[in-house]
Amino acid sequence: MTDFVKPTIDYFELFPLLVVFGAACLGVVVEAFAPRAVRYGAQVLLSLGGLAAATVSVVLIARDSEVYADGAARGILAVGGTIAVDGPTLFLWGLILVLSVAGVLLFAERHLDGGVSAFSGQAAALPGSEAEREASTRGLDHTEVYPLLMFAVFGMLLFPAANDLLTMFVALEILSLPLYLLCGLARRRRLLSQEAALKYFLLGAFSSGFFLYGAALVYGYAGSMDFADINESVRNDAGNSALLLIGMGLLTVGLLFKVGAAPFQAWTPDVYQGAPTPVTAFMSAGTKVAAFGALMRLFYVAFGADRWSWQPMLWVIAILSMLLGAIVAITQSDVKRMLAYSSVAHTGFILTGVLGVQATGDLAVGEVSSLQSVLFYLATYGLVVLGAFAVVSLVRDSGGEVTSLDRWAGLGKESPVVAGVFAFFLLAMAGIPLTSGFVGKIAVFSVALAAGAWPVVVVGILASIIAAFFYIRVIKAMYFDEPVGDGPSVVYPSVLTATAIAFAVAATLMLGVLPGPLLDLAGLAGQFLR
Amino acid sequence: MTLDAILLASSEAASEIPVVHPVAAEGVFTWLWLIIALPLAGAAVLLLGGAVAKGALDKVGHWIGTASAAGSFVLSLILFIALLGRGEEERQIGQHLFTWFQVGGLDVGMDLLYDPLSALFLLLITGVGSLIHVYSIGYMEHDDRRRRFFGYLNLFVAAMLVLVLGANYLVVFLGWEGVGLASYLLIGFWQHKHSAAAAAKKAFVINRVGDIGLSLAIALMFTTFGTTDFAAISEQASGASQATLNALGLLLLLGACGKSAQVPLQAWLLDAMEGPTPVSALIHAATMVTAGVYLVVRSNFIYELTPVAQTVVVIVATVTLLWGAILGCAKDDIKKALAGSTMSQIGYMMLAAGLGVAGYPFAIFHLLTHGFFKANMFLGAGSVMHGMNDDVDMRHYGGLRNYMPVTFLTFAMGYLAIIGFPGFSGFFSKDKIIETALAENWIIGLCALLGAGITGFYMTRLMLMTFFGDTSRWDKDAHPHESPHVMTVPLIVLAALSVLGGVLLLGDFVVEFLAPVTGVAEHHEPPLPAIVITLMVVAVVAIGVAAAWFLVGKREIPRVAPTEVSFATRAARADLYGDAINEGVVVAPGRALVSGLTSFDRVGVDGVVEGGSLGVGAVSGALRRVQNGFVRSYALSLLGGALLVVLALLAVNLA
């Protein structure tokens, strides 16, 4: 038996993870010991402080990270090679932290619903019961959502950095469990919310099972959980390749479930609709970013030598996601469900970028690498979708948010600014020039074309056209249709939500007009460290 | 013969096409940008300041506008004198203001180029422009939008200065579009008149056609040379293929035709007379319409290499100079008669520009003298209208020489200059063009000679109908009077310039001054001695004048234009059917094409789109039903998906 070697911990490089985790744990302590009156303020400050500290340290790490392999990759493998703090990781960390800050701002919004947050007063009380009414009259709030959010952020940060299958699985669970819980905490329409949470949990657990089984099979093939070792085995073609392929497939299922690709998208509309809108906003942006980071690390690092075997499978998934997302979105009558299907379509677009992978040597000078295009797309999409859901939370009537598209008719007359901002986000999702979505689509399509995946690109363009139809239909409804009956009113948010939305608008416009700096930054991230 | 002669001329000159190589601005030349900035600031103050201090600006606005133009003129004069003090090789001065934009390989700077050619233009634009500003103070006195008018005038002057100072084609294009905009605003200044609004629109649309030519030329330059700088292109032009050069020359000509109202884009100029008269003088006589000539002369490094385009320039110019002259004979509207004459005179300039190195200096020379005498006559016409209750019909004038002595005398100076009376400025400039044309090609030369005769005819007709004869044709309530000093002083100055403009040719000054830009011409012996040609020109003009005397002066002029006239007169009155040609050749087929496309769009495209969307909608509805809300179904679909993924992997790899 070999001696146990204590792994060295690279505290500096892991600081963002540690500080977020620490803030989450502190949040639990605050919840246990601080009086109710100060909890809200303390939790918000703690979360924002933790995220800010993590963001600063990401910048510092990025500045100091060592460069390897002629500038192709940078960073280090920490904790005995289980966590890779490399260029792409740092880019995604930065992005996730920015999205999380916006998420905290949305969580902390208490202006929209008469002084209470969007979360249930007392989650344990049965819907419609006396206890619920009492909690609501006392103006109770679940401030536990902030530690939960921070735990989810910790999982999201760990997910794309995980450099072996076990760490990846642990990260997947850390990221998912708080989200299952958050989904069930809506203040309004609680039954719908709880149903969504339960569905998400059941299906998520099911897909985790696939992932775990896949991990076991791949271990059986390679004799190691470590991505570098798996890569070595794949390269040497050692072992039973059926074992590898089935394992690879099952791992893929787990990850594709998280990003919401077809045919694993079934949970998205129900969960997006049922979850409290701030949670939907945070989750739809953050989970997608983290899961795509993990997906790319798994495929590029562990299975990179075998890309001919998985690329066709991703072709099929990408085409299915784009078409299904775009087509089904057309007949949706609920704005959150429509955005959910649109997110499925966008998953397809991002996958188009993922499968555009090619050896670095094949890239001409100035050509965008596949990783670069996906990172850019994730940044643009994350901000747009977060902003769009944030706007959805502003359109309300006495019963809470109004998500039925029929009742959004004529919103442009009620509030030209809010309708205009939403229209801008929709145009960005549709990929209209001068928005970030256009540049993102161009980037992923061009890398896919360079890799010869033109059928996927053709379908992608077709799906973009179909998608543009339903985005523009909403714009038409807001601006050109007469309001039906008592239309919803737009509640003007506090500075928290307003900041999040303004930031998303500014970034979307900026990245549409001047995409250069961020594209360069994504390019600077380089390749995954093996 | 035509082509051969010009081919020969250009091949000889090709070896010595001057290259644009500006030296950096220093000393007084660093103030170059201020020449543009002054009127631009004036326009900004007058147009935007109205929101802040409307009352005060309405009182002093016209003085601000005039002062900014005059300031520009003083600066131009200082720079001109400084330029004269420099050696010939240092007479091209460049000033880099800032990087305008940088896209990919295209790096465009806001660069100015001050050389003898732009120096002369600066003097003309700011000098004549200032006089017209002064004149407008009186002319627009009773217009309650006078501040805005001066704002537009300043805007125009600034844009025109950008046009002639730009050191690359994109800056020129900026000015080009700027003068188009200002011209649109000024033609339609009295927009309450339907005809003025329509004329502004027509000018705008026709100019767009020309602008397509210029913008395509710029695009082609970028793809060919990778730059739009005069300096770089003049160096590399000889390296481009003949086809590219031909295309460049023709596209630039298309642009020039639009701005300078050359056939076939001439139709807007006569309608543009709907604008206030100072506008006609400034824009449609002295400056903007000559931009086409400037463009051709400025692009000499391209035209010298493309005999084909040069030949087309000469043909277009010759047709236009006759076309405009014929229109001038038949118009009863005094401003339209002058506009026809303007077209014809620009034709002369274009002709000279198309003749190559030998012609360039004379094109510019005629452009300057024409700027003086035509502005003079337009302002004179304005003065006449001012006294005649804004009536423009010459058939309602007569015998005005006794009532408006200053206007009459100054107008007479312009008249003598334009017909080329010996000693007056137009005599020298037109004579030189006809001489050069005859030396290059006798057919073109004879056409130019004929044009000179027709010029003598229509200008004499105009003089006779307006200032001579008796007063019986006046309107009942007409009380003609001399205009105020603020209007007559500019007239006197311009009249003096019309008389004396010819001194520019003393000792071949213009030719030698422009040599660094245009190059030095091989001397061609004209087929006849120069003195014989001059005598011929004078004789032909005398015939034209005499014909007018016998046909117009000796007869009774009917107060209403007779309708029983020959076909030729009818055609000329209808602008030689220019509008009908446009209608038949462009508008009607265009309309047919549009209606065809619309119906195709309705039936074909909409059919496909609507059918497609119906289909997609149906699929969407069916797929939606799969989303039934049951977790067990979702889990099943997840399992199905997993099978799909695994099977896809296995199928690809193990098949």
Cα–Cα distance, B237 to A22 (Å, whole number): 69
- Give CA torsion, residues B274, B378, B467, B459, to 10 deg: -100
Give me the pLDDT at residue B5, please.
47
Which one, of A522, A217, A514, lies nearest residue A378 by Cα?
A522
Q: Which residues of B touch A202 (CB under 8 A)?
A: 631, 635
Give me the pLDDT at residue B561, please.
74
Interface mutation target, options B630, B631, B639, chain A, most CBs of A under 10 Å:
B631
Helix (H) or strand (E) holding B118: helix B116-139
Give me the pLDDT at residue B7, please.
45
In chain A, the largest separation of any two C-alpha atoms, in whole Å, equals 77
pLDDT tens digits for A134-146? Answer: 888 888 888 999 9
Q: Give yes or no for a cis peptide into A263 (omega within 30° of 0).
A: yes
CB contact under 8 A, B634 and A310: no
Interface mutation target, options A264, A311, A317, chain B, most CBs of B under 10 Å:
A264
Confirm or reject contact between B648 and chain A (CB < 8 A): yes
Nearest CB partner across the interface for A328, out of B624, B638, B644: B624
| pLDDT surpassing 50 at residue A261 | yes
Cα–Cα distance, A504 to A387 (Å, whole number): 6
Least Cα separation, residue A244 to chain B (angstroms): 10
| Pairing verdict, β B93-103 and B106-114 | antiparallel
In chain B, the largest separation of any two C-alpha atoms, in whole Å, equals 109
Nearest CB partner across the interface for A270, out of B621, B629, B650: B629
Query: Could you give the strand order of the β-sheet that contains B106-114, starting from the edge strand earlier in sequence?
Result: B23-24, B93-103, B106-114
Q: Which residues of B touch A203 (CB under 8 A)?
A: 631, 634-635, 638
pLDDT tens digits for B589-645? Answer: 777 877 877 787 777 777 777 777 788 778 888 877 777 888 888 888 899 999 989
The set of residues, in sequence order, having a beta carbon less than 8 Å from that of A365 and lying 6+ positions away, is: none
Which pair of structure tokens corresponds to residue B439?
């030396």
| pLDDT surpassing 60 at residue B239 | yes
Query: Could you tell me if residue A433 is inside a domain?
Result: yes
Which range among A192-206, A217-231, B15-29, B363-377 shows the weakest confidence by mean pLDDT?
B15-29
CB contact under 8 A, A330 and B620: yes
| pLDDT surpassing 80 at residue B526 | no
Residue recorded with tokens 């300041």: B49
- Give CA torsion, residues A188, A189, A194, A200, to 10 deg: -100
Query: Could you tell me if residue A210 is inside a domain?
Result: yes
Chain B residue whose CA is closest to A252: B645
CB contact under 8 A, A256 and B621: no
C-alpha pair distances (Å), B272 with each of A159, B188, B577, B632: 71, 9, 17, 78
- N residues, chain A: 530
Least Cα separation, residue A242 to chain B (angstroms): 7
Query: Could you tell me if residue A286 is inside a domain?
Result: yes
Which range of A85-99, A236-250, B39-53 scores highest in mean pLDDT? It is A85-99
Cα–Cα distance, A357 to B365 (Å, whole number): 66
Cα–Cα distance, B189 to B202 (Å, whole number): 14
Least Cα separation, residue A328 to chain B (angstroms): 5
The number of distinct structural domains making up chain A is: 1
CB contact under 8 A, A327 and B616: yes
Residue B299 has a CB neighbour count (10 Å cut-off) of 27
Nearest CB partner across the interface for A316, out of B627, B638, B648: B648
Nearest CB partner across the interface for A327, out of B620, B641, B650: B620
The set of residues, in sequence order, having a beta carbon less than 8 Å from that of A495 and lying 6+ positions away, is: none
**Half-sphere exposure of residue B518, counting CA atoms within 13 Å on the CB side?**
30
Q: Which residues of B touch A256 (CB under 8 A)?
A: 641, 645
Q: Which residues of A touch B649 (CB under 8 A)?
A: 245-246, 248-249, 309-310, 313
Q: Is B50 exposed, middle or buried (0-12, 13-18, 19+ CB in 10 A)?
A: middle
| DSSP letters for B59-74 | HHHHHHHHHHHHHHHH
Give me the pLDDT at residue B605, please.
73
The set of residues, in sequence order, having a beta carbon less than 8 Å from that of A501 and lying 6+ positions away, is: A387, A390, A391, A421, A493
Mean pLDDT of A85-113: 93
Give me the pLDDT at residue A179, please.
96
Which one, of A460, B517, B207, lies nearest residue B215 by Cα?
B207
Paired residues of B108 in beta bridges: B101
| pLDDT surpassing 70 at residue A250 | yes
Mean pLDDT of B111-125: 92
Give me the pLDDT at residue B563, please.
72
Mean pLDDT of B400-414: 90
Chain B residue whose CA is closest to A264: B638
Cα–Cα distance, B172 to B169 (Å, whole number): 5
Cα–Cα distance, B606 to B373 (Å, whole number): 59
Nearest CB partner across the interface for A263, out of B629, B644, B653: B644
Nearest CB partner across the interface for B637, out of A266, A269, A312: A266
pLDDT tens digits for A14-61? Answer: 999 999 999 999 999 999 999 988 999 999 999 999 999 999 999 999
Complex ipTM above 0.90? Answer: no
| pLDDT surpassing 90 at residue B389 | no
Confidence band of A255 (pLDDT split at 50, 70, 90): very high
Q: What does pLDDT average to over chain B?
A: 86
CB contact under 8 A, A469 and B613: yes
Q: How far apart are the first and last CA of chain A?
A: 28
CB contact under 8 A, A245 and B649: yes
Confirm or reject contact between B633 and chain A (CB < 8 A): yes
Least Cα separation, residue B170 to chain A (angstroms): 22
Chain B residue whose CA is closest to A273: B629
| DSSP letters for A240-274 | -HHHHHHHHHHHHHHHHHHHT-TTS-THHHHHHHH
Cα–Cα distance, B366 to B350 (Å, whole number): 10
Give me the pLDDT at residue B318, please.
93
Confirm or reject contact between B613 and chain A (CB < 8 A): yes
Give me the pLDDT at residue B199, please.
87
| pLDDT surpassing 90 at residue A114 | no
Task: Provide, rounded to the nearest whole percent, the portion of chain B with pLDDT above 90.
Answer: 35
Q: What angle do CA B426, B341, B512 make, to 5 degrees?
A: 35
- Three-class SS state of B110: strand
Confirm or reject contact between B102 and chain A (CB < 8 A): no
Query: Could you tell me if residue A310 is inside a domain?
Result: yes
Nearest CB partner across the interface for B649, out of A310, A324, A469: A310
Mean pLDDT of A164-192: 93
Residue B131 has a CB neighbour count (10 Å cut-off) of 29
| Pairing verdict, β A67-68 and A73-78 | antiparallel
C-alpha pair distances (Å), A518 with each of A10, A95, A377, A525, B349: 28, 11, 10, 11, 54
Query: Could you tell me if residue A5 is inside a domain?
Result: no
Give me the pLDDT at residue A360, please.
56
Chain A residue whose CA is closest to B613: A466
CB A457 within 8 A of CB A449: yes
Cα–Cα distance, A92 to A1 (Å, whole number): 39
- Residue with the larger pLDDT of the pair B450 and B284: B450
Confidence band of A10 (pLDDT split at 50, 70, 90): confident
Which pair of structure tokens corresponds to residue B272?
């543009």
Least Cα separation, residue B96 to chain A (angstroms): 26
CB B36 within 8 A of CB B162: yes
CB contact under 8 A, B641 and A256: yes
| pLDDT surpassing 70 at residue B10 | no
Interface mutation target, options A330, A334, A469, chain B, most CBs of B under 10 Å:
A330
Mean pLDDT of A404-431: 89
Residue B250 has a CB neighbour count (10 Å cut-off) of 17
Nearest CB partner across the interface for B649, out of A249, A270, A466: A249
Which pair of structure tokens corresponds to residue B340?
């026809």
Query: Could you tell me if residue A451 is inside a domain?
Result: yes
**A interface toward B at CB cutoff 8 Å?**
198-199, 202-203, 206-207, 210, 241-242, 245-246, 248-250, 252-253, 256-257, 262-264, 266-267, 269-270, 308-310, 312-313, 316-317, 324, 327-332, 466, 469
Mean pLDDT of B282-310: 90
Cα–Cα distance, A335 to B442 (Å, whole number): 79
Confidence band of A193 (pLDDT split at 50, 70, 90): very high
Which pair of structure tokens corresponds to residue A297?
């690390």
Sign of CA dihedral A139, A142, A143, A145: negative
Task: Give the number of beta-carbon pairs within 8 Å between A and B.
Answer: 95
Residue recorded with tokens 């997840």: B638
Confirm or reject contact between B653 and chain A (CB < 8 A): yes
Q: What angle do CA B132, B136, B139 make, to 5 degrees?
A: 135
Which one, of B386, B559, B550, lies nearest residue B470 by Cα?
B559
Confirm or reject contact between B617 and chain A (CB < 8 A): yes
Confirm or reject contact between B623 and chain A (CB < 8 A): yes
| pLDDT surpassing 70 at residue A160 | yes
The set of residues, in sequence order, having a beta carbon less than 8 Å from that of A234 and lying 6+ positions away, is: A222, A244, A302, A303, A305, A306
Which one, of A202, A136, A146, A170, lies nearest residue A20 by Cα?
A146
| pLDDT surpassing 80 at residue B580 | no
Q: Which range marks the domain in which residue A519 is found?
A: 11-525
Cα–Cα distance, B509 to B429 (Å, whole number): 13
Q: b/e map of A306-334 (b: 16 or more CB within 10 Å)?
A: bbebbbbbbbbbbbbbbbbbbbbbbbbee
Query: Could you tell me if residue A530 is inside a domain?
Result: no
Paired residues of B113 in beta bridges: B94
Q: What are phi and psi of A14, to 5 degrees?
A: -95, 5
- N residues, chain B: 655
CB A47 within 8 A of CB A150: yes
CB contact under 8 A, B633 and A266: yes
Cα–Cα distance, B74 to A530 (Å, whole number): 72
Which one, of B402, B327, B323, B321, lies nearest residue B363 by Cα?
B321
pLDDT tens digits for B126-146? Answer: 999 999 999 999 888 888 888
- Give CA torsion, residues A105, A108, A109, A111, to 10 deg: -140
Q: Which residues of B touch A247 (CB under 8 A)?
A: none
Cα–Cα distance, B606 to B609 (Å, whole number): 5
C-alpha pair distances (Å), A334 with each of A413, A464, B3: 20, 20, 74
DSSP summary character for residue A481: S
Q: Which residues of B touch A249 (CB under 8 A)?
A: 642, 645-646, 648-650
Residue A6 has a CB neighbour count (10 Å cut-off) of 7
CB contact under 8 A, B627 and A269: yes
Nearest CB partner across the interface for B645, out of A252, A269, A330: A252
Q: What are phi and psi of A514, to 5 degrees?
A: -125, 70
Sign of CA dihedral A449, A451, A455, A461: negative
Query: Could you tell me if residue A2 is inside a domain?
Result: no
Confirm or reject contact between B641 and chain A (CB < 8 A): yes
Least Cα separation, residue B174 to chain A (angstroms): 23
Cα–Cα distance, B116 to B511 (Å, whole number): 11
pLDDT tens digits for A263-319? Answer: 899 999 999 999 999 999 999 999 999 999 999 999 999 998 888 888 889 999 999
